[in-house]
Amino acid sequence: MKTIALLILSTFFSWTFTTEQAPKPIHVEVSGNGNPIIFIPGFTVPGEVWNPVVKELEKTYECHVVTLAGFGGKAPIGFPWLPKVNDALQNYISKNNLENATIIGHSLGGTIATWLACRENSKVSNIIIVDALPAAGALMIPDFNPDNLAYDSPYNNQQLAMDDAQFEQMATMMSQGMSMNKEAQEDIKKWIMTSDRKTYVYGYTDYLKLDLREDLKNINIPTTIIAAPQPFGKEVVTKNYQDQYANLKDYNFILAEDAAHFVMLDQPEWFLRTIKTILSNQ
């Protein structure tokens, strides 16, 4: 009898430990009081990228700052990665009764915000999309077909096989195109370098496969898109956004002057003023 009891206890504690230690798709830090704002960062980027904005907005809003699994030192999860992240965010909003939530998302975070706003019975009341597209893969890949994108591909295998020096060289080149701010470029490079490699490679495949252009028809809430004109120029960027968001009924489009992809790092004061203005008009 004693042996059976010990076996039951051992099984229970083993199950509890495994459950508690299971990696989570999202990690959220909450501060402030008021109507909820959910901040979702871009690919490889930790939630800390929002710190300057949150420092101001937490005075009047309840801020929920997200970091995604595999980035910012957070443990990776299994694949497919992005569907798990999306579902976890939707469940987080429901579980915490975040009625009339505003979502501010950058890059991949903006695409996720769009996905959440498209859902049936969405509790999202307002989205602010920062340099993000509903179908990034369609812009980047000729003859785009999500079904043709797979984890096991020559490009993905090449990235997985890179040594640290090769990966750092790639991260350096990428960071230089994402911001006009030298200090910010170093941060972006660091975030890429410290990301979980499989999440970086396979997670980006998930990102490129996602196509929300038809789902945009389901969005009936205030939507603001902040776009960066650098390095492609205002005309090219404006046309790309008009084409990608053609099915969105109504939205406010703002071009950020003298900014590349990380608008909040290139133009921090302008960005904060703009976000405050958008929120005050809702």
Q: Mean pLDDT, the chain, as a whole number?
A: 93
The pLDDT tens digits for 162-176 are 999 999 999 999 999
Q: Answer yes or no: is 267 within a domain.
A: yes
Closest CA to 83 of 253, 203, 223: 203
CA 160 to chain centre: 22
Whether 16 shows a pLDDT value over 50: the answer reads: no
Q: Answer yes or no: is 11 within a domain.
A: no
Closest CA to 247 of 110, 114, 109: 114
Angle 85-86-89 from CA coordinates, rounded to 5°: 85
Q: Specify the DSSP class assigned to residue 75.
A: P
The pLDDT tens digits for 41-62 are 999 999 999 999 999 999 999 9
The CATH number for 36's domain is: 3.40.50.1820
Q: Answer yes or no: is 85 within a domain.
A: yes
**Span 141-154, average pLDDT:** 95
The pLDDT tens digits for 63-117 are 999 999 999 999 999 999 999 999 999 999 999 999 889 999 999 999 999 999 9
Whether 2 shows a pLDDT value over 90: the answer reads: no
Q: Answer yes or no: is 95 within a domain.
A: yes
Q: What is the residue range of 61's domain? A: 24-280
Confidence class for position 20, pLDDT limits 50, 70, 90: low
Alpha-carbon distance 164 to 166, whole Å? 6
**Which region, left, alpha or beta, applies to residue 186 given φ > 0 means left and ψ of -120 to 50 means alpha?**
alpha
CA 58 to chain centre: 20
CB 193 within 8 A of CB 162: no
**Span 229-241, average pLDDT:** 96
φ, ψ dihedrals at 246, nearest 5°: -60, -30
Q: Answer yes or no: is 254 within a domain.
A: yes
Q: Specify the DSSP class assigned to residue 204.
A: H
Helix (H, G, I), strand (E, B) or coil at 97: coil
Alpha-carbon distance 79 to 200, whole Å? 12
116's CB contacts (< 8 A; 6+ apart) are 86, 89, 90, 93, 103, 122, 124, 127
Q: Answer yes or no: is 35 within a domain.
A: yes
Q: Answer yes or no: is 5 within a domain.
A: no
Does pTM top 0.85 for this prediction?
yes
Q: Give me the number of domains the chain comprises.
A: 1
Q: Answer yes or no: is 97 within a domain.
A: yes
